[in-house]
Amino acid sequence: MESSSGVGVGGGVGGGFVFFAFGDWGYPNPLLAQAMDKWATTVEAPSFILALGDNFYPSGPMSTTDDKWKTNWINIFLKYDSLKVPWKVILGNHDYDGKPECQVAYTQAPHNPLGLWQMPDRNYTFQYPLPNNKVVEFFGLDTRWLIPRSL
């Protein structure tokens, strides 16, 4: 299936699936959240969302109770029911300017809304089942150690 914007979407004849993927989203961005909700409610809803790093600007949270969780994610994105799906998250370089282990720990935090923030480790994998007993495997890789210290 193809939308009028020319963007291909899954879920059609090929038995695909839909997920949203984006990075560098660390500032509160209500327009992005609104656009995602519009797509999810008018075209096709995602099964999950891949948050590909730089989840917080200018630096990551310092704890699992840091206000950034609410101001950058909960109050912006989770106000839309269509975006209350699992968020599979990896770290970006700006996340290291805080305490990156907090983003991993938030996965198990009791105040993680519906357990939607999912980063079980800095490197992890998850599988998504497809029809006909097929599976897609995703890899979340922390590549920060590949960047020279001067960056």
The model's pLDDT over 87-100, given as tens digits with 9 standing for 90+, comes to 999 999 999 999 99
Q: Kindly report the pTM of this predicted structure.
A: 0.86
Give 8's DSSP letter. Answer: B
| Spatial separation of the C-alpha atoms in residues 35 and 76, rounded to whole Å | 12
Residues 51-79: what's their mean pLDDT?
Answer: 97
CB atoms within 10 A of CB 91: 25
Amino acid at 145: W
CA dist., res. 148 & res. 66, Å (int): 28
pLDDT above 50 for 14? no
**Residue 6 pLDDT > 50:** no
> Is the distance from CB of 26 to CB of 56 less than 8 angstroms?
yes
| Span 70-81, average pLDDT | 98
| The pairing of beta strand 48-52 with beta strand 87-90 | parallel
Q: Tally the C-alpha atoms within 13 A of residue 34's C-alpha that lie toward its C-beta.
A: 4
Contact 34, 71 (CB under 8 A): no
Pick the CATH number of 19-144 from 3.30.1010.10, 3.30.390.50, 3.60.21.10, 3.40.630.10: 3.60.21.10
Per-residue pLDDT at 9:
41
